[in-house]
A and B are shown apart, each in its own frame.
Chain A
Amino acid sequence: MSIMEIVVITLIKIVAILSVFLLSVAYSVYFERKIASWAQNRVGPNRVGWNGLLQPFADVFKLLLKEDIVPEASNKPLHTLAPFIALLVAFSTYAVIPFGPEVELFGYKINLVVADVNIGILYVLAFTSIAVYGITFAGWSSGSKYSLLGGIRSSAQMISYEVSMGFSVGGVILLAESLSPVKIVEAQHGWMWNAIIQPIGFITFLVSSFAETNRLPFDLPEAEPELVGGYHTEYSSMKFAGFFLAEYANMIISSALITTLYLGGWQNPLVDIFHIQGGWAVAMQVGAFMIKIALLLFFFIWVRWSLPRFRYDQLMNLGWKVMFPLALLNIIWVAVLIMVFKI
């Protein structure tokens, strides 16, 4: 393949992924509202389009046309930078997540991943650690007491759970012997899913992702009764939409990550059982990846509308005294497993 072909294929992949990703972000907002309304026995959005299906676009255009209010007390450059960081970080992580196996299309061998980076998992962790800044800067630059307290709370929460997240990932690396997400998925062939081999790590990673995305029951930073809007109290218009979309984008990223690391990524056991080959196999594998993500997204939303919020001391205790030791235990468990069974 010449360089031009590689560049063109890469660009096509990036544009396709970004547009699918944006659409799914918009529609996860819609589904959140629909599921919330089912949970609370309401109707939910049903006016814009058939059953409210165009609601996400109406929301975005409304926010686009609103006045952008930047308070006098705020630090203006940082106030703009904060949603920029939040959104960019939310988008960038997706570059290394594989959504299917290698396929042959029009005579080209195409990997169904934007970039098969050999340190992909570290790349994801690096961007997760940067995500704190979007919220910290938003809290500090707004010049509002609520924002500051919300921002600080949120950053302390995110960094606390980042440690257990890192240790859980350690268990996955032990088994896969690779930092590349593509190889990690390949190592989970058949039913060798990490969620089955190391359930403790799966749970710690899942809980940490909830905390990292600031979703209920960990949504202390925007606890409405005490902090108004938390770090985005002083945000309006597109900048607010930035934070709003970043939250849902992060949810999708987390679901994709959990799928890749623990639920076998695009691996579909049915393909092996029925010996399916060729295009159908690929379609089923990509479909399996989508379904896994959709189920996890549903789980995120379901939890939000079922559980009450933690108190802040409970949240910190859970992070440091439960999740962190459990993640350590998980690493030892996997190390012993490898020693004993030589898997």
Chain B
Amino acid sequence: MLMLTEFGKVFIFILLGAIFVTIAIIAAKLVSPNRPTHEKLLTYECGENPVGSPWVKFNIRFYVVALIFLIFDVEVVLLFPWALVYKGFGIFGFLTGIIFLVILGLGMAYEWRKGDLEWARPHPIPPELDKVLSKKE
């Protein structure tokens, strides 16, 4: 006996969505012209020939953000089962959750205090008129 669970319906939905997107991309491939030239296929860099490797090194802070995110994401996921059955457990459930949230807040406070949440700020140095003038001379 075949059964269609709710997950099955979601599965069909995703499948139909995927088919639709594939058709759109393939249709574009079929009807659009394709006349590549070397210049056309160059990477855009303000009209100049691209300089150096496109995969430049970026700021390490992005990595630190991903690290912090990973830890808090796990905590969010752990909090969902708690939130779901919270009402049935009264003051006991309340204390369990609050202790967990306090521990979580401690980690947050540590990062805040250590400056890991700070992002590099721009420090604009306004040009001083007399310096600019003296340089030119």
Contact = CB atoms under 8 A, between A and B. Distances in A.
7 contacts: A88-B14, A91-B21, A144-B43, A145-B45, A149-B56, A159-B69, A313-B122
Interface string A2-13: 010011001100
Interface in A224-250: 228, 233-234, 237-239, 241-242
Contacts of A178: 84
A102 to B, nearest CB: 14
A159 B10 contact: no
A146 B77 CA distance: 34
A3 B2 contact: yes
Interface in B91-137: 91, 94, 97-98, 101, 104-105, 108, 112, 117-122
Nearest to B16: A14
Given A68-B32, A92-B13, A317-B117, 11 more contacts: A71-B42, A84-B21, A96-B10, A129-B73, A143-B55, A148-B54, A174-B83, A313-B120, A316-B119, A320-B68, A324-B72
Interface in A132-148: 140, 142-148
Contacts of B20: 18, 91
A179 interface: yes
Nearest to A11: B12
Nearest to A91: B17
Contacts of A123: 10
- Most A CB contacts (10 A, CB to CB) among B45, B55, B68, B86 go to B86
Nearest to A245: B24
A52 interface: no
A312 to B, nearest CB: 6
Interface string A112-153: 001111100011000001000000000010111111110011
Contact of A73 (B18, B54, B66, B76): B54
Contact of B83 (A87, A170, A233, A311): A170
Contact of B86 (A68, A237, A324, A338): A338
A96 B69 CA distance: 26
Contact of B40 (A69, A74, A149): A69
A233 B44 contact: yes
Contacts of B38: 72
A23 interface: no
Interface in A1-48: 3, 6-7, 10-11, 14-15, 18
B21 A242 contact: yes
Contacts of B112: 321
Contacts of B121: 313
B41 A117 contact: no
A194 B80 CA distance: 17
Interface in B1-25: 1-4, 6-7, 9-10, 12-14, 16-18, 20-22, 24-25
B58 A152 contact: yes
A95 B10 contact: yes
Contacts of A143: 43, 54-55
A342 to B, nearest CB: 9
B25 A239 contact: yes
Contacts of B94: 335-336, 339
Interface stretch (A160-168, A258-266, A301-309): A160-168
Interface stretch (A59-67, A272-280, A286-294): A59-67
The 5 closest A-B pairs by CB, nearest first: A238-B28, A166-B76, A313-B119, A115-B9, A91-B17
A335 B83 CA distance: 9
A71 to B, nearest CB: 5
Contact of B25 (A66, A80, A129): A80
Contacts of A153: 62
Nearest to A95: B13
Contacts of A103: none
B10 A114 contact: yes
A173 interface: yes
B6 A116 contact: yes
Given A163-B73, A335-B86, A117 B119 contact: no
Contacts of B43: 71-74, 142-144, 234
B28 A92 contact: no
Given A92-B17, A163-B72, A328-B105, A83 B25 contact: yes
